[in-house]
Amino acid sequence: MARGKLRRLVYDQLEPTARKGRLSPTNRVIVVLVIIAAFTVIFETEPTISAGREPLFRLFELLFGIIFLVEFAARVWIAPDSPRFAGKPRPRLSYIMSWNAIIDMIAILPSLFAFADGSSIILRFFRILRMVRLAKLGRLSRAWRHVTQAIHSRRYELGLTVAIAVAAMLTAGTGLYLTEAEAQPDKFGSIPRALWWAIVTLTTVGYGDAYPITAAGKVVAGVVAVIGVGLIALPTGILASAFSEAVQKRSASDAADKED
Amino acid sequence: MARGKLRRLVYDQLEPTARKGRLSPTNRVIVVLVIIAAFTVIFETEPTISAGREPLFRLFELLFGIIFLVEFAARVWIAPDSPRFAGKPRPRLSYIMSWNAIIDMIAILPSLFAFADGSSIILRFFRILRMVRLAKLGRLSRAWRHVTQAIHSRRYELGLTVAIAVAAMLTAGTGLYLTEAEAQPDKFGSIPRALWWAIVTLTTVGYGDAYPITAAGKVVAGVVAVIGVGLIALPTGILASAFSEAVQKRSASDAADKED
Amino acid sequence: MARGKLRRLVYDQLEPTARKGRLSPTNRVIVVLVIIAAFTVIFETEPTISAGREPLFRLFELLFGIIFLVEFAARVWIAPDSPRFAGKPRPRLSYIMSWNAIIDMIAILPSLFAFADGSSIILRFFRILRMVRLAKLGRLSRAWRHVTQAIHSRRYELGLTVAIAVAAMLTAGTGLYLTEAEAQPDKFGSIPRALWWAIVTLTTVGYGDAYPITAAGKVVAGVVAVIGVGLIALPTGILASAFSEAVQKRSASDAADKED
Amino acid sequence: MARGKLRRLVYDQLEPTARKGRLSPTNRVIVVLVIIAAFTVIFETEPTISAGREPLFRLFELLFGIIFLVEFAARVWIAPDSPRFAGKPRPRLSYIMSWNAIIDMIAILPSLFAFADGSSIILRFFRILRMVRLAKLGRLSRAWRHVTQAIHSRRYELGLTVAIAVAAMLTAGTGLYLTEAEAQPDKFGSIPRALWWAIVTLTTVGYGDAYPITAAGKVVAGVVAVIGVGLIALPTGILASAFSEAVQKRSASDAADKED
């Protein structure tokens, strides 16, 4: 019975939906640890910071690996208490097969290799997998629900405006390919190359690595830029207003939650 | 009688407005084929992808040409069943003279030259005509109607803000021509040249191929940029809200459609 | 009496507010001429277009000069019929002293010098004065009223957000001056120089002629860019919504106009 | 008694909240002086302006130093009249310990060193502290209240969208680090370096000092730019609408103020 009580206590500490209001102290500690762990990964990649401090970074990594392994084990242990897995024949196995658990495992895996040397691409990719831990933050927050709600409620407009944006990019790229391919074959010599220009231009980033130099190309690019920039901004505007709406509905749904 | 039934069946499969709800299986296949055909054209232009694979690309092209030719012939055949052409004396000829059919023919034409060699500008332009097929997607979707509705409902504001944006660009270009022409005659030596700078700056693309270097030019450009960037964003904001409105009206009009 | 009738007729043709609905045929011709005249000025400045065609451009210029002089004389003549000047002791002199007339005179003046040679700065400035004619378009359109209304109705928000934007720019410029002045004295060696960077960055133009190269400068610039770009966009958003509102009120006010 | 009356008069002139409507003449003079003083600091840093005019700038600086010192002393003197400090045991000391007073003191301090020579970093930083005076403007305006209200009323959405923006930047930076580190180790060789690229790209500034050159990098950067630019714009949109709302509530609250 004591074990059931303990598990119930751990469940209350770890499960973000267990409490209606704020996060439990344990989950807050996990949030802080995830952020520190992410910064450790970020700074470890910068040679001017990590050079000579490799043992320190490995120690940190080992520490985070152990903590998140313990957290993962605890979450597996409490799975039978979760309403989502309690009804299933093997609740713990069901949990392990869930997206949340798979992401956790992917993020823990690289810690085992913390002491491996070298800087090969595969090893780099492997180490960077630890950044996946940041996905924990989304899971601990109810906010993520508002984002997915916002996208879902306006999926038709978003899909349509994204299609318009893609069409604008294809048209822009094709137009510049036709007018500039002769003058700058390395930058506009094919539609995929011209598409890089189109993306960089229509998002208004404009690195300056590719731009038209012929008069015809500049006229086409000028017209395309003025129209295209407006079309590319459509999905952003729709997403922003959808998001605002989804959050405003939150108060109402929160109020309903509290009445439960 | 069997022939009339078959034509009715083909009509039901090809005409996007024949069914109230989703696209017919045939039209879905056409959508997928159009997208694949577009990617084929895009990748064919890139030498690092198409080099040595020309025969494969030509085969694909021939295939798409035949499919879209058959589709075109079928659409001509079913024209008498369409409410839009049924009343006219020669429904099939009327269909062939419609914009949709003309675009289809323009897009089929280049396939006949799939086996022609060379990379002259004319041939390149001709091959790129196949990208026009993407216009089929717009036609198959009811979404296009919302876009044109959105533009039409706010044509006054859009026209006015576009006029303001053009005036801002002319003023910006003239201002920089006056202040920078002496220092950088190749970039600001005439108003058309300065207009390229104005477009690149006011759309906030900012390639960095042209920018003022004199103190006077920088002051004028700074003031112009801060004010102009805001004015250029006006049509985008209006288009986004008009678009949002047009889609929200959709639900109502869809509901009315279903009651028919 | 015939003279009064003729003047009334000319008034009806020239005065944009004389007719409730669309522009009179004469005013439409003027709009087209103003646009053609502006393009003439623009293309005249481009040597690759105007070289060898100077006499043609001068002829055009002379023609436009005469037309707009006649138009100006006609507007002076009809001033007593205008409700705005009719009540004053000397209606024609009052009109000549009005902003509209002064702009007209400024734009006509350079035509007298159409045959002057050379490309000195003063002459260039003088010739470009003809671009002022574009202001005629604003006057002929009721649209301008909506723009000024929009700005006026939100002058408080616009003033406040512009102040925030200026503060953001000053803070950004000062921050980069402190961190980058040592490393790049020619680009960040003083606050005015750093302000050029701040304007180019916060409007998101980003030419790439000035950017931080030190770690401290990049951190400050990164924080400043993320926050500042949002603040700079505030006036644009407010202007867009104010403009939308002003135009929506138009229908109501137009309806009221028609009832007069 | 005369002293109390004088203090009351000074309070009415200096305290921005003492009058419901506009600023007092004294405060308006201070606003103008603060702006002139800021421009003096800005132009002093530019060698082409200040060279040879150092004594003039020092004189100005001394003048501003004395004026703002007198203003500060006056504000300390009238502290007992302020409802905010009147109830406290030592109202003047309480005022000196308030944020407003501390900012004033920080801004006055550098004036004492106006005659110090040299251009060391510390001295430069010290001189630039005078820019802090601009904070006086915020305090004198009720507008600042609306900005903080706007941020506070939407703190949840702003926090969430800022978190999404940070996540987008981290993902973008990590993605480019994985694909471009080999090809451009100086620009993408670590996540912090790639984050500089991510900030410059997702804010759409796009200096052009860092951009992907490999095909993989361009594909990742293209996808990331299109999605990320939209996500980065979310907080701006929410802030703009929150700000608009806060100002619209102003009229109501102002009306209530006047009824007091």
ipTM reported for the complex, 2 dp: 0.86
For C2-16, give one letter per residue: b (16+ CB within 10 A) or e: eeeeebeebbebbbe
Chain D residues within 8 Å of chain C (Cβ atoms) = 38, 41-43, 45-47, 49, 121, 124-125, 128, 131, 134, 137-138, 141, 143, 146-147, 165, 195-196, 199-200, 203-209, 232, 235-237, 239-241, 243-244, 247, 250
Taking the C-alpha atoms of residue A162 and residue A216, their distance in angstroms, rounded to an integer, is: 28
For residue D207, the chain B residues in CB contact (below 8 A) are 208
Residue C98, both tokens: 């009005």
Taking the C-alpha atoms of residue A74 and residue B9, their distance in angstroms, rounded to an integer, is: 61
**Residue predicted with more confidence, D219 or C23:** D219
Taking the C-alpha atoms of residue C92 and residue C77, their distance in angstroms, rounded to an integer, is: 7
- Chain pair B-D, CB pairs under 8 angstroms: 7
Look at residues D78, C185, C163, C200 and name the one whose alpha carbon lies nearest to residue B221. C200
pLDDT in tens, B63-94: 898 999 999 999 999 988 888 888 888 889 99
Give the up-direction half-sphere exposure of residue A38: CA atoms within 13 A in the CB hemisphere.
19
Nearest CB neighbour to B247, from listed A156, A167, A226: A156
Taking the C-alpha atoms of residue D19 and residue B57, their distance in angstroms, rounded to an integer, is: 79
What's residue A82's pLDDT? Answer: 85
Helix pair B2-14, B54-78: axis angle to 10 deg: 120
Nearest CA in chain D to A120: D182
User: Most B CBs within 10 Å: which of A169, A234, A236, A245, as the mutation test of the B interface?
Assistant: A234
Taking the C-alpha atoms of residue A18 and residue D66, their distance in angstroms, rounded to an integer, is: 62
Q: Is the pLDDT of residue A240 over 80?
A: no
Taking the C-alpha atoms of residue B49 and residue D35, their distance in angstroms, rounded to an integer, is: 61
Taking the C-alpha atoms of residue A42 and residue B211, their distance in angstroms, rounded to an integer, is: 36
Exposure of D188 by Cβ count < 10 A (0-12 exposed, 13-18 middle, 19+ buried)?
buried
What's residue B205's pLDDT? Answer: 92
Nearest CB neighbour to D204, from listed B204, B207, B208: B204
pLDDT in tens, B130-177: 888 888 887 777 667 777 777 888 887 788 888 888 889 999 999 999
CB A206 to CB D206 under 8 A?
Answer: yes
For residue C204, the chain B residues in CB contact (below 8 A) are 204, 206, 229
Q: Is the pLDDT of residue C144 over 50?
A: yes
For residue A160, the chain B residues in CB contact (below 8 A) are 141, 143, 146-147, 247
Taking the C-alpha atoms of residue D174 and residue A131, their distance in angstroms, rounded to an integer, is: 8
CB D206 to CB A209 under 8 A?
Answer: no
Residue D182, φ and ψ in degrees, nearest 5: -65, -45
Chain C residues within 8 Å of chain A (Cβ atoms) = 204-208
**Residue predicted with more confidence, A130 or B35:** B35
What's residue A201's pLDDT? Answer: 94
Q: Is the pLDDT of residue A234 over 60?
A: yes
Give the up-direction half-sphere exposure of residue B39: CA atoms within 13 A in the CB hemisphere.
5
Taking the C-alpha atoms of residue D209 and residue D212, their distance in angstroms, rounded to an integer, is: 10
Taking the C-alpha atoms of residue B217 and residue B175, their distance in angstroms, rounded to an integer, is: 8
DSSP for residue A133: G
DSSP string, A213-241: -SHHHHHHHHHHHHHHHHHHHHHHHHHHH
What's residue B195's pLDDT? Answer: 95
Q: Is the pLDDT of residue C212 over 70?
A: yes
SS3 annotation, chain C: CHHHHHHHHHHHHHCCCCCCCCCCHHHHHHHHHHHHHHHHHHHHCCHHHHCCCHHHHHHHHHHHHHHHHHHHHHHHHHHHHCHHHHCCCCHHHHHHCCHHHHHHHHHHHHHHHCCCCCCCHHHHHHHHHHHHHHHHHHHHCCHHHHHHHHHHHCHHHHHHHHHHHHHHHHHHHHHHHHHHCCCCHHHHCCHHHHHHHHHHHHCCCCCCCCCCCCHHHHHHHHHHHHHHHHHHHHHHHHHHHHHHHHHHHHHHHHHHHHHC
Q: Is the pLDDT of residue C254 over 60?
A: no
Instruction: Name the band, by pLDDT with cuts 50, 70 and 90, for residue C260.
Output: very low
Residues whose CB is less than 8 angstroms from the CB of residue A244 and which lie 6 or more positions away in sequence, other chains included: D157, D237, D238, D241
What's residue B70's pLDDT? Answer: 93
What's residue D260's pLDDT? Answer: 45
What's residue D55's pLDDT? Answer: 87
CB A192 to CB B42 under 8 A?
Answer: yes
Taking the C-alpha atoms of residue D37 and residue D111, their distance in angstroms, rounded to an integer, is: 11
Lowest mean pLDDT among A103-107, B36-40, D248-252: D248-252
Taking the C-alpha atoms of residue A61 and residue A113, their distance in angstroms, rounded to an integer, is: 10
Instruction: Name the band, by pLDDT with cuts 50, 70 and 90, for residue C139.
Output: confident
Residue A128 to chain C, least CA–CA distance (Å): 22
Residues whose CB is less than 8 angstroms from the CB of residue C37 and which lie 6 or more positions away in sequence, other chains included: C60, C64, C68, C130, C133
Question: Coil, strand or helix: which one is B8?
Answer: helix
What's residue A29's pLDDT? Answer: 92
List the chains bordering chain D where 3 or more Cβ pairs fall under 8 Å.
A, B, C
What's residue A260's pLDDT? Answer: 46
- The list of chain D residues with pLDDT below 50 reads 258-260
The mean pLDDT value for B95-114 works out to: 83
Taking the C-alpha atoms of residue D212 and residue D225, their distance in angstroms, rounded to an integer, is: 12
For B216-244, give one letter per residue: b (16+ CB within 10 A) or e: ebbbbbbebbbbbbbbbbbbbbbbbbbbb
For residue A208, the chain C residues in CB contact (below 8 A) are 207-208
What's residue C230's pLDDT? Answer: 81
What's residue C62's pLDDT? Answer: 86
Single-letter code of the amino acid located at D68:
F
pLDDT in tens, A136-169: 887 777 667 777 777 888 887 788 888 888 888 9
What's residue A67's pLDDT? Answer: 92
Q: Is the pLDDT of residue C70 over 50?
A: yes
**Residue predicted with more confidence, B189 or B128:** B189
Rounded mean pLDDT of chain C? 84
Q: Is the pLDDT of residue C82 over 60?
A: yes
What's residue C196's pLDDT? Answer: 95
Rounded mean pLDDT of chain B? 84
Look at residues D207, D93, D230 and name the one whose alpha carbon lies nearest to residue B205. D207
Exposure of C155 by Cβ count < 10 A (0-12 exposed, 13-18 middle, 19+ buried)?
exposed
User: Most B CBs within 10 Å: which of A155, A218, A219, A232, as the mutation test of the B interface?
Assistant: A218
Exposure of A146 by Cβ count < 10 A (0-12 exposed, 13-18 middle, 19+ buried)?
buried
Q: How distant, in Å, are the alpha carbons of A187, A193, C212, D197 from that of A209? A: 9, 12, 19, 14
Whole-structure pTM value: 0.88
CB D147 to CB C160 under 8 A?
Answer: yes
CB atoms within 10 A of CB C125: 11
What's residue B260's pLDDT? Answer: 46
Taking the C-alpha atoms of residue D2 and residue B71, their distance in angstroms, rounded to an integer, is: 99
CB A174 to CB B128 under 8 A?
Answer: yes
What's residue B108's pLDDT? Answer: 85
